[in-house]
Amino acid sequence: MEPDLSCAPPGAEPEPELLYLLHDVARLLRREIDRRARMHDMNRAQWVMLIRLARNPGLSQKDLAEIIEVEPMTVARLTDRLEARGLVERRADPRDRRIWRLHLTDEADPILQDIETHRGAVADFIAADLTPSMIDATTEGLIRMKTSLLKADRAADAYMISAAKAEQEIA
Protein backbone atom coordinates (compact mmCIF):
# COMPACT_ATOMS: atom_id res chain seq x y z
CA MET A 1 0.00 0.00 0.00
CA GLU A 2 1.40 3.39 -0.98
CA PRO A 3 1.60 6.11 1.68
CA ASP A 4 -0.88 8.96 1.54
CA LEU A 5 1.26 12.00 0.76
CA SER A 6 -1.62 14.43 0.39
CA CYS A 7 -2.45 17.31 2.68
CA ALA A 8 -5.78 15.67 3.53
CA PRO A 9 -6.47 15.07 7.23
CA PRO A 10 -5.71 11.55 8.51
CA GLY A 11 -8.43 9.15 7.41
CA ALA A 12 -9.76 11.48 4.71
CA GLU A 13 -9.67 10.55 1.07
CA PRO A 14 -6.78 12.15 -0.85
CA GLU A 15 -8.06 15.08 -2.90
CA PRO A 16 -7.52 14.47 -6.62
CA GLU A 17 -8.44 18.01 -7.63
CA LEU A 18 -5.78 19.74 -9.69
CA LEU A 19 -5.13 22.64 -7.32
CA TYR A 20 -4.69 20.33 -4.35
CA LEU A 21 -2.33 18.13 -6.33
CA LEU A 22 -0.30 21.14 -7.48
CA HIS A 23 -0.10 22.36 -3.89
CA ASP A 24 0.95 18.93 -2.59
CA VAL A 25 3.59 18.44 -5.29
CA ALA A 26 5.02 21.92 -4.67
CA ARG A 27 5.07 21.34 -0.90
CA LEU A 28 6.78 17.95 -1.25
CA LEU A 29 9.26 19.39 -3.74
CA ARG A 30 10.11 22.22 -1.32
CA ARG A 31 10.58 19.65 1.44
CA GLU A 32 12.97 17.61 -0.72
CA ILE A 33 14.97 20.71 -1.70
CA ASP A 34 15.10 21.79 1.96
CA ARG A 35 16.46 18.36 2.91
CA ARG A 36 19.14 18.51 0.24
CA ALA A 37 20.10 22.08 1.11
CA ARG A 38 20.53 21.10 4.78
CA MET A 39 23.09 18.52 3.66
CA HIS A 40 25.21 21.56 2.71
CA ASP A 41 24.38 23.45 5.92
CA MET A 42 22.18 25.81 3.92
CA ASN A 43 18.48 26.38 3.34
CA ARG A 44 16.31 26.53 0.24
CA ALA A 45 16.15 30.34 0.32
CA GLN A 46 19.95 30.52 0.21
CA TRP A 47 20.03 28.09 -2.70
CA VAL A 48 17.42 30.09 -4.59
CA MET A 49 19.40 33.26 -3.95
CA LEU A 50 22.62 31.70 -5.27
CA ILE A 51 20.85 30.44 -8.40
CA ARG A 52 19.26 33.84 -9.09
CA LEU A 53 22.58 35.64 -8.62
CA ALA A 54 24.32 33.16 -10.92
CA ARG A 55 21.72 33.96 -13.60
CA ASN A 56 21.62 37.71 -12.87
CA PRO A 57 24.92 38.94 -11.41
CA GLY A 58 24.82 42.36 -9.81
CA LEU A 59 21.18 42.41 -8.76
CA SER A 60 20.34 44.89 -6.05
CA GLN A 61 19.05 43.50 -2.77
CA LYS A 62 15.69 45.13 -3.51
CA ASP A 63 15.44 43.60 -7.00
CA LEU A 64 16.44 40.18 -5.70
CA ALA A 65 13.79 40.43 -2.98
CA GLU A 66 11.14 41.06 -5.64
CA ILE A 67 12.33 38.15 -7.78
CA ILE A 68 12.36 35.61 -4.94
CA GLU A 69 9.25 37.13 -3.37
CA VAL A 70 10.57 37.97 0.08
CA GLU A 71 11.02 41.19 2.01
CA PRO A 72 14.22 43.18 1.37
CA MET A 73 15.20 42.65 5.03
CA THR A 74 15.07 38.88 4.46
CA VAL A 75 17.47 39.25 1.53
CA ALA A 76 19.74 41.37 3.74
CA ARG A 77 19.86 38.60 6.38
CA LEU A 78 20.40 35.88 3.78
CA THR A 79 23.14 37.98 2.21
CA ASP A 80 24.80 38.42 5.61
CA ARG A 81 24.95 34.62 6.03
CA LEU A 82 26.17 33.95 2.51
CA GLU A 83 28.71 36.76 2.77
CA ALA A 84 30.01 35.28 6.05
CA ARG A 85 30.56 31.99 4.21
CA GLY A 86 32.45 33.81 1.45
CA LEU A 87 29.87 32.96 -1.22
CA VAL A 88 28.43 36.41 -1.92
CA GLU A 89 29.84 39.91 -1.82
CA ARG A 90 28.11 43.27 -1.72
CA ARG A 91 29.40 45.98 -4.00
CA ALA A 92 28.24 49.58 -3.92
CA ASP A 93 26.36 50.66 -7.02
CA PRO A 94 28.61 53.13 -8.89
CA ARG A 95 25.62 55.38 -9.67
CA ASP A 96 23.92 55.24 -6.27
CA ARG A 97 26.00 54.51 -3.19
CA ARG A 98 22.85 53.64 -1.21
CA ILE A 99 22.29 50.54 -3.37
CA TRP A 100 24.21 47.32 -2.83
CA ARG A 101 24.79 45.06 -5.82
CA LEU A 102 25.18 41.37 -5.05
CA HIS A 103 27.80 39.20 -6.73
CA LEU A 104 28.83 35.60 -6.28
CA THR A 105 32.40 34.79 -5.38
CA ASP A 106 34.42 31.97 -6.89
CA GLU A 107 33.74 29.99 -3.69
CA ALA A 108 30.08 29.72 -4.77
CA ASP A 109 30.95 27.74 -7.92
CA PRO A 110 31.20 24.28 -6.28
CA ILE A 111 27.93 24.85 -4.42
CA LEU A 112 26.21 25.90 -7.64
CA GLN A 113 27.49 22.70 -9.27
CA ASP A 114 26.09 20.69 -6.34
CA ILE A 115 22.76 22.49 -6.63
CA GLU A 116 22.60 21.63 -10.33
CA THR A 117 23.43 17.99 -9.55
CA HIS A 118 20.67 17.88 -6.93
CA ARG A 119 18.24 19.62 -9.29
CA GLY A 120 18.88 16.98 -11.92
CA ALA A 121 18.54 14.15 -9.39
CA VAL A 122 15.22 15.49 -8.10
CA ALA A 123 13.92 15.99 -11.64
CA ASP A 124 14.91 12.42 -12.54
CA PHE A 125 13.34 11.06 -9.35
CA ILE A 126 9.99 12.79 -9.72
CA ALA A 127 9.75 11.86 -13.40
CA ALA A 128 10.93 8.26 -12.99
CA ASP A 129 7.43 6.79 -13.38
CA LEU A 130 6.42 9.09 -16.24
CA THR A 131 6.75 8.42 -19.94
CA PRO A 132 8.36 11.08 -22.14
CA SER A 133 4.92 11.97 -23.54
CA MET A 134 3.55 12.38 -19.99
CA ILE A 135 6.46 14.68 -19.13
CA ASP A 136 5.87 16.71 -22.30
CA ALA A 137 2.13 17.00 -21.60
CA THR A 138 2.72 17.96 -17.97
CA THR A 139 5.31 20.55 -18.96
CA GLU A 140 2.99 22.02 -21.58
CA GLY A 141 0.12 22.14 -19.11
CA LEU A 142 2.22 23.82 -16.44
CA ILE A 143 3.51 26.40 -18.94
CA ARG A 144 -0.06 27.24 -19.93
CA MET A 145 -1.12 27.51 -16.28
CA LYS A 146 1.81 29.78 -15.53
CA THR A 147 1.00 31.95 -18.54
CA SER A 148 -2.63 32.27 -17.42
CA LEU A 149 -1.59 33.21 -13.89
CA LEU A 150 0.92 35.78 -15.15
CA LYS A 151 -1.76 37.36 -17.36
CA ALA A 152 -4.15 37.52 -14.41
CA ASP A 153 -1.40 39.00 -12.24
CA ARG A 154 -0.64 41.72 -14.81
CA ALA A 155 -4.35 42.48 -15.20
CA ALA A 156 -4.73 42.80 -11.42
CA ASP A 157 -1.72 45.12 -11.28
CA ALA A 158 -3.14 47.26 -14.10
CA TYR A 159 -6.49 47.43 -12.32
CA MET A 160 -4.86 48.50 -9.05
CA ILE A 161 -2.88 51.22 -10.83
CA SER A 162 -5.95 52.56 -12.62
CA ALA A 163 -7.97 52.45 -9.38
CA ALA A 164 -5.24 54.37 -7.56
CA LYS A 165 -5.16 57.00 -10.33
CA ALA A 166 -8.94 57.35 -10.23
CA GLU A 167 -8.81 57.76 -6.46
CA GLN A 168 -6.18 60.50 -6.81
CA GLU A 169 -8.33 62.32 -9.37
CA ILE A 170 -11.29 62.27 -6.99
CA ALA A 171 -9.22 63.58 -4.09
Instruction: Indicate the average pLDDT of the chain.
Output: 89
What region, left, alpha or beta, does residue 59 occupy, with left being phi > 0 and alpha being psi -120 to 50 degrees?
Answer: beta
- b vs e for 46-55, b when ≥16 Cβ sit within 10 Å of the residue's Cβ? bbbbbebbee
pLDDT tens-digit profile of 75-100? 999 999 999 999 999 999 999 989 99
pLDDT in tens, 24-75: 999 999 999 999 999 989 999 999 999 999 999 999 999 999 999 999 999 9
What is the C-alpha to C-alpha distance for residues 50 and 134, in angstroms, rounded to an integer?
31
Burial of 59 (0-12, 13-18, 19+ CB in 10 A): buried
**What CATH class is the domain 18-129?**
mainly alpha
Whole-number percent of the chain with pLDDT over 70: 90
CA separation, residue 106 to residues 86, 97, 103, 119 (Å): 9, 24, 10, 20
Q: Which residues contact 56 (CB under 8 A, 6 or more apart)?
A: 67
pTM of the model: 0.73
Read off the pLDDT of residues 110-140 as tens digits, 9 standing for 90 and up.
999 999 999 999 999 999 999 999 999 999 9
pLDDT score recorded for residue 96: 93
Contact assessment for residue 120 and residue 128, using Cβ atoms and an 8 Å cutoff? no
C-alpha to C-alpha distance for 5 and 20, rounded to whole angstroms: 11
